[in-house]
Amino acid sequence: MMLVVMVLWVLVSASSSVYSNEEYGRQVLTAAKEDKNWLVSIRRKLHEHPELCFQEHNTSALIRSELENLGISYTYPLARTGFVAQIGTGSPPVVALRADMDALPLQELVQWEHKSKHDGLMHGCGHDAHTTMLLGAAKLLNQRKDNLKGTVRLIFQPAEEGGAGASYMINEGALGGAEAIFGMHVDFTIPTGTIASLSGPMLAAVCFFVARIEGKGGHAAEPHINVDPILAASATVLALQQLISRELDPLQSQVLSVTYVKGGEALNVIPAYVELGGTLRSLTTEGLQRLQQRVKEVVEGQAAVHRCKASVDMKEDEFPLYPATVNDERLTSHVDRVGSMLLGPHGVKAAKKVMAGEDFAFYQEVIPGVMFGIGIRNEVVGSIHSPHSPYFFLDEDVLPIGAALHTSIAELYLMEHQPPPLVK
């Protein structure tokens, strides 16, 4: 029994000494910064050749080629263009790191040497950086594989931008035996060299909807013999806004935005139908599902009041519902400790809740996970614009920082989650 106690004491002491030792953080960060030129070159190649969801063939091929050069094995394909690399002992515990690879249907307006070479396509959300940082972590973890007390799965995922690529990766076995997962997203609101984390709900559950309200078209001079869908649509838009203002608990967070209304073209003709659509968001998945139901009821009810018929399509075939991103408290504390070790106590900030969506939430429905922000704000280089802006620009100093964080988060997680020794 005394032997067992001594073994446990050694394990705990080793873990504590790592966390109290600033030298560990400097060592990993220094090693990552030695690879900065390589990381920048990879990221710029990805940025010049953006690919949309499930079309990331060249992106996938480039990263897989780099993994092969490093002697790192991977499983391909998953979810068409995705793949999973694996480093470590091959035994439990298993921890996963994730990066998304897809770009946006956006025309880049930043004039620089490595601007997108494909009109109408842009890495305007930082996924080229995410992919590069995870590749950098793969190299570091492979160099440090003798330190790994378990297995790291590196998930290179397609189709985050509306394609729910995470759900496809899960269905095809990307998580393996992972018991926890970590992901990061560039954040233009905090400076390079910092991270922002938050326990609990962080990003919203998201879906889209399209409603069609059908009446009876005819000449505008004779509204009494027509059935006016314009009037019904107008009443519907106003009624939908009351779902948030009058039915939602003021202490909860939801968004309902009608983003377009289409109906007719002639100035003297009442159209036969009107189409309107928008997006729904909630910081809980259950709240979004309730809101979906109420939207259907309100649209159909308002149409009936005005003698029209209505149908509502939540567009889940094209844009699957994304669950809310809810960070595990224990794993968030782990991210904070590692972040402080690498970036100093002032390098970790409290994140703000955002009503944007992120398909990382699909992983969190299966195992505990954390999505956190990594700062890229740098006024000097022009890294000040939000994701999905045609002027979005990246401070490339973030690349080795992200690689080091991924590496340390995984390495120290495995060290802290060793199975207890067998008692004989």
Q: What is the pTM of this model?
A: 0.93
Give residue-wise pLDDT tens across range 266-293.
999 999 999 999 999 999 999 999 999 9
Checking if the pLDDT of 324 tops 90, the result is: yes
Confidence class for position 19, pLDDT limits 50, 70, 90? very low
Report pLDDT digits (tens) over 124-146: 999 999 999 999 999 999 999 99
What share of the chain in percent tops pLDDT 70?
A: 94
Residue 97's DSSP bridge partners are 154, 182
Closest Cα partner for 205 from 145, 258, 164, 152? 164
CA 418 to the chain's CA centroid: 29
Residue with tokens 């045609």: 390
Joined together, the tokens standing for residue 83 give 């793949």
Known binding-site positions:
125, 127, 161, 185, 388
Q: Is the pLDDT of residue 18 over 90?
A: no
Give per-residue pLDDT as tens, 347-387: 999 999 999 999 999 999 999 999 999 999 999 999 999 99
Rg, the chain, Cα only: 25
pLDDT at 21: 66
Domains belonging to the chain, first-starting first, are 2-202+324-416 (3.40.630.10), 205-313 (3.30.70.360)
Binding residue positions for Mn(2+): 125, 127, 161, 185, 388
Evaluate whether 300 touches 239 at the Cβ level (below 8 Å): no
406: exposed, middle or buried (Cβ count in 10 Å: 0-12, 13-18, 19+)? buried
CA 88 to each of CA 61, 92, 94: distance values in angstroms, whole numbers, following the listed order: 23, 10, 9
pLDDT at 242 over 60: yes
